[in-house]
Structure formats: structure tokens, C-alpha cells
Amino acid sequence: MDSMAAATSSSVPASGLTTVSVKSSKPLKEKTTKAERRALQDAQRAASKGASLDVFILALHVGIISCLYCVLSAEGGKAPLYDDESRVVKAKRRAVVKQTEAKNRVELFRHLPQYEHGTQLPDLETKFFLLDPMHPAVGLQYLSGDISGGNARCIAMLQAFQEVVKDYSTPPEKTLNRDLTAKISSYVSFLIECRPLSVSMGNAIRFVKNRIAKLPIMLFESEAKAALQSDIQRLISEKIVAADKAIVRHAVTKIRDGDVLLTYGSPSAVEMVLLQAHELRKKFRVLVVDSLPKLEGQLLLRRLIKRGIDCTYTHINAISYIMHEVTKVFLGASSVLSNGTVYSRVGTACVAMVASAFRVPVLVCCEAYKFHERVQLDSICSNELGDPNVISKVHGRGDINYLDGLTNNANLQFLNLMYDATPSDYISMIITDYGMVPPTSVPVIVREYQKEHLLV
């Protein structure tokens, strides 16, 4: 029986629990959590009592869950330590995509990966048909920037996982749980190499692994796969799509006739709110603020104009000029952290700050699955660094080439931050699928949401 084999192969839980070789890009941490210690005690008790088969299995389950926690917490939210040489070397050995480090790194961000972006895409393309068929597509899309935005990336990744599950077949001598989890982890590490995970993706991965771990071992493979696929589908439809609908319903009550609304970048939730408000025949104007290097505001602008909404377009430096006529500011978020800090596209903090200086209310639209229990004080501790070359060569403006030829100068560095942290005192209200809450209520929701997450 494969479970017996599994039991013997996993050895005595007491000693080796934390070092079960689940493949991941980051090594398991040595410290054990409370759950793990309890699991250890249970397993030890079971072993010492001269256990029967089912106790072993129970211990095994608990053991797997607790060791998975350890893996998940290493993946879900802890900051990667790229200034630790040994870990970087280990990660490189396992890497699928060849990374070359940028030559001119900003000292302040030594703890974050900064790679040359030019070489990765062609390299991956050559390997496309050599790797497993499913995962490169999504990774490629992330790498080239085709999919961007927390919700889009998360949904794309979950759909890719559904495909993986559909095509999966358990190899002999292995259990579905552990093998599938290992496979998912390897795909996740590949995605991380293409582009670091967003917080929403981290939460979704935690959910998926949790579901896999909770599968009863006696289930047939086809049933297990079907259950998993429906779980993933439920995550998408409940926590993302339905959540967006709830947010829209709450937010449109805040838009009145004659409003001048300001938005920054291209947040998917805010776009839905604006379109819905327009459907309801409310009279309002939109100010779209944009910034380099991504110029995401132009995409939002096109979509709004096509629907017939009055728009004004400007760049982030001019917000002091236009803020005096704005009545409300709507922002999107990549995540909201437990100290109320909003972690979102770089530039959001500037917009929120100027808005609060002009006494304009700031509303953040964020689905609850994006909340996270970690805390952050400033934008430096944890961030993502983008391609530095995009700053030196400005897209679409050929006349701006002052810095050509200077990219290799030792004195000159480019910093392309992707995210920043907005302090909670600039935010008036956060609109989630759980309702409209102040930023201070976020840790409460995280606590309740996590409980519900695990029980469901």
C-alpha cells in the first residue's frame, strides 16, 4: 500500500519533520511554529505508544500539514534575503530561467533581486518546448509584462493551476498530496523567477496548498482532482469576481452627481466602479493621473473614453495643480497590510499625501483576499525592482536621450521601484467585499478571514 510505504519513507516524524524534502526555492526555516510543535508531540506520543496504522497516518497528516505551514509561510510572506550569499547560490542552482545580475545595483536595495531583464525572455523562449508543457506560458506573460495587476495575475495563475491539476496523474509509489504539492511548488518557483509574487498570488498559493493538504487520503484520484478544481474555481468566483461586485455596489453609493474623481494608474476595481456609476447615469468627471515608466493610466483612459466618460489626463507631478478641483480620490491596492499600510503601485503614496494635504477624502478599493498579516513601515524593506533600462530610455520620446551611453558608468544608477507603502493616516476608508472599513480594521478582518479560510 502506498500509504504504508509513505509512512515508512517519511521516517519517524519526531526527528526529521522540518526537513522533509519538499521542493521550494527557499530553504525551510529552522524554527518550528506552535502547530508544528504540537504535531511533533502528538507524533511522538503515537510512536511511543506502539502505534497502530491509523495513528501513524494521523500523525503523518498532522506532520505534513505542519511542515507545509512552514513551507507556506516561507513562501507566502517572508521577505527574501538576497543579501545572504549561500541562499542566493542555492537558488541559482535550482533556477530554470538563467538570471544575470545587474551590474550597477543600488546599495539601499541590496536585499532585493535586481536582474538584467533583457536576457531572460529569449533564453526562456529557447527552452519553451523542453520544459513541462503547462507552466511556461503564464511565466512568459508575466515576464514580458502582458499580464499585470494583482487580480489578473492571480486569476491567470489559478487557471494555470487548474490545468495542471487536470493533466496530473499520480506517479506510482507517491501520494497525490505530496507529489502535487511538490509540483505546484516547482511551478511557483518558476513563476517567481519570472517575476516576484504579488501578495494576492501568495495568498492564493497558500489556499491551494492548503486544499491539497486537506484532501482525504482515501479519495480516488479523479475525485480528488475534481474537488481541487472546484475549490480553485470557487476561490476565483467568490473571492475575486464576487468580491469585485460587492466592492462596486458599496463604492457607487459614494459617488454623487457633480463629483470630480481622481484615480491613479489602472486599478481594476476602480475601473469597474467608475463604469458602473456611469451606467447608473451619475454625472461625474474623472481625472486620470499617470506616471512613468509604465504609463498604465493610458490604458484606463482609453477604456473610459470609449464608454463616454469625461476625462482629464495628467502626470503625477501636476497633482498639486489639479487637486484643488478634486472631490474624491479612488485608489487601488496590491495589498493592505496589518498596520493599515496600503501597499500598491509606486506613486500612490504621493497621490494620497497630496490629497490629504488638500483635505480630499481618499478611498481605497481592495478585495479581502489581498489582505496580509505582515506589517511594513516604509517602502524600502520589501519591494520589487523593475528594469532599470526603462528609465534611461524613455518610451516614445526619442528626443530624450541624455543618458545614452552612461548606463555602465559606475557613478550612475537607476532605480525603478514597482511598489510603495502608503501610511494609513492618509487613507480615509477601505472598500472591501466585507464592507467599508477604516484602515485600522484590517487586522481584524485578517484574523477572521484566516479562520474562515482554513475551516472552509
Partner 1 sequence: MPDVQSTVLEFVNKLRKRKIEGSQATAKCTVELLRSVISQQRVPHSNQASALIDAVKAVGEQLVAANPVELAVGNVVRRVLHIIREEDLSLATAAMAGLDLLDASDDDGEDDNCKVVGYSAMSAAVAAAAARSTLRPPSLQTLLEGTPESAAVPYTSSSGADSESKSKSADKSSITRKLKHDVIEGVNHLILEISGCHEQIAEQAIEHIHQNEVILTLGSSRTVLEFLCAAKEKKRSFRVFVAEGAPRYQGHLLAKELVARGLQTTVITDSAVFAMISRVNMVIIGAHAVMANGGVIGPVGVNMAALAAKKHAVPFVVLAGSHKLCPLYPHNPEVLLNELRSPSELLDFGEVSDCLDFGAGSGSPLLQVVNPTFDYVPPSLVSLFITDTGGHNPSYMYRLIADYYSADDLVM
How far from the centroid of its chain's Cα atoms is residue 212's Cα?
A: 20
Q: Determine the Cα–Cα distance for residues 226 and 247; give it in Å rounded to an integer.
A: 30
409 contact partners, CB below 8 Å, separation of at least 6? 104
Q: Determine the Cα–Cα distance for residues 123 and 137; give it in Å rounded to an integer.
A: 14
- Bridging pattern class, strands 328-332 and 342-345: unpaired
What is the closest distance, in whole angstroms, from the C-beta atom of residue 449 to partner 1 in the complex? Answer: 28
What is the closest distance, in whole angstroms, from the C-beta atom of residue 244 to partner 1 in the complex? Answer: 24
Stretch that binds partner 1, among 69-77, 81-89, 175-183, 395-403 (CB under 8 A): 395-403
In whole angstroms, how far apart are CA 189 and each of 74, 229, 310?
A: 12, 21, 44
Instruction: Determine if 380 is a binding residue for partner 1 (CB under 8 A).
Output: yes
Q: Determine the Cα–Cα distance for residues 32 and 241; give it in Å rounded to an integer.
A: 36
The region, left, alpha or beta by phi > 0 then psi within -120 to 50, assigned to residue 314 is beta
State which residue, 65 or 351, has the beta carbon closest to partner 1.
351
Q: Give the count of residues interacting with partner 1 (CB under 8 A).
A: 58
Q: In the stretch 416-435, what mask flags binding to partner 1 with x, by CB under 8 A?
A: xx--xx--------------
Stretch that binds partner 1, among 95-103, 125-133, 213-221, 401-409 (CB under 8 A): 401-409
Q: 364: helix, coil or strand?
A: strand
Hey, how many other C-beta atoms are within 10 angstroms of the C-beta on 202? 21
Q: In the stretch 63-102, what mask flags binding to partner 1 with x, by CB under 8 A?
A: ----------------------------------------
State which of positions 333-362 bind partner 1 (CB under 8 A).
345-347, 349-350, 353-354, 357
Instruction: Determine if 311 is a binding residue for partner 1 (CB under 8 A).
Output: yes
- Bridging pattern class, strands 342-345 and 419-422: antiparallel
Query: What is the rounded (10 degree) CA torsion for 105, 111, 116, 117?
Result: -130
What is the closest distance, in whole angstroms, from the C-beta atom of residue 400 to partner 1 in the complex? Answer: 5
Instruction: Determine if 313 is a binding residue for partner 1 (CB under 8 A).
Output: yes
Stretch that binds partner 1, among 33-41, 227-235, 236-244, 399-407 (CB under 8 A): 399-407
The residues of the shown chain that bind partner 1, judged by CB under 8 A, are 106, 108, 290-293, 298, 301-302, 305-306, 308-322, 324, 345-347, 349-350, 353-354, 357, 378-380, 383, 391-392, 394, 396-397, 400, 402-403, 406, 409, 411-417, 420-421
